[in-house]
Amino acid sequence: MINLDYAATAPMSPLALQGYIEAAEEMYGNASSLHDLGGRAKELLEASRTMIALALHGDAKGLYFTGSGSEANILAIQSLLNGIDEPHKNEIICSTFEHSSIKLYMEHLKEKGYIVKKISPDSGGRILPIQLEPLLTENTALVTIQQGNSETGILQDIGRISPYLKEKGILFHSDCVQTFCKIPIFAKEWGIDAISISAHKVFGPKGIGAAYINTKTRWQPVLPGTTHEYGFRSGTVNVPGIASFAIAVKELSSCMEENQQQLRKLRNCLKRLLKDHSVNAAFIEGELQLPGIAGLVLENMEGQYALLSCNQHEIAISAGSACQAGMQMPSETVTSLGYSSEEALRFIRVSMSAKTTEDELLSFTKVLQNVRLEAGIGKD
């Protein structure tokens, strides 16, 4: 099957898979145990922590492993909120294009008495400090804005947002699941309070994520008394999965620029092929863009129909975020960019890796072309 849905998940790289097998066979001890089996597992765990923190340009002491990127989002946000000792700080700002895990958790926080304000991007898909300013009050506790959107690939300049909020004493969290190891992240330099990442988006295993928390930022655990992960999260640590995560990170981060150049070529190729085959589709693009994610609004064709047609021809695409698949509702991400609800239902996402080929993109284009002709779209 042709995979054009890498933003949903990526297969494990051969090196990451081999690393997992070796760690599971040889380093199976509980990293919290005091005997030598536990000690060897602990050494591998800490070496992996250092390697992943290095890719974030952060401090290894601030990296805590979780069961997923979604869990990292929730634990990071709640741990930061727990660390605030000013009762009046009860307002949170989040973007309209956050991952479903954050949107759902915002609803939970509302039930706990927090006031949640949503902020939409400008016409260029950006959220800038000048847009945040009117929403900030003395009660603002935290702002969460993802770095790269999973549906459109539009990027936010979090390196600019973070210092602005830092000056105002407001905590800042960013979901970097889609951007980690694809574009540089400078956690320490930017002073971001918390970052969320995930292994399976970078050709590592599923079931492993991490939250990076600035070592200068105060936080309190979600579950008091937890001993694992330095008090951040309970549960025996998945050392083989984490070791595999670290291998995948080292492998992918070593060729970020080359991969992005190749993805830009593939994106331009996709645009050319769609045009050449008379498939009318509007590319959703921001001023800053992850080239590997192409959000398209099709002409007179619902996204779910295009997805099913591609699937019949053994091509995997998405009609939005995989975490919201099956929900017959227009994407808030797309409508927040000025598209109508009807246009948002015609949205599809094509997401590529540097190993995607032009022939695969051609096969995808021909499926859309055939569906268009069969439906009589464009005929007089």
Q: How far apart are CA 147 and CA 170, in angstroms?
A: 18
| Residue 87 neighbours by CB under 8 Å, 6+ apart | none
168 to 14, 127, 140, 291: CA distances (angstroms): 46, 17, 10, 33
* DSSP state letters, 237-304: --HHHHHHHHHHHHHHHTTHHHHHHHHHHHHHHHHHHHHHTT--EEEE--SSB-TTEEEEEESS--HH
Q: For 352, how many CA atoms within 13 A lie in the half-sphere containing its CB?
A: 26
Helical residues (DSSP H) of 65-99, grouped into ranges: 69-82
Residue 196 DSSP class: E
Determine the distance from the C-alpha atom of residue 348 to the mean position of all C-alpha atoms in its chain, rounded to a whole number. Answer: 17
Radius of gyration from C-alpha coordinates of the chain:
21
Length of the chain: 380
Q: How far apart are CA 216 and CA 349, in angstroms?
A: 38
| 181 is a catalytic site residue | no
| Residue 230 neighbours by CB under 8 Å, 6+ apart | 64
Catalytic residue among 176, 255, 310, 323: 323
List active site positions: 323
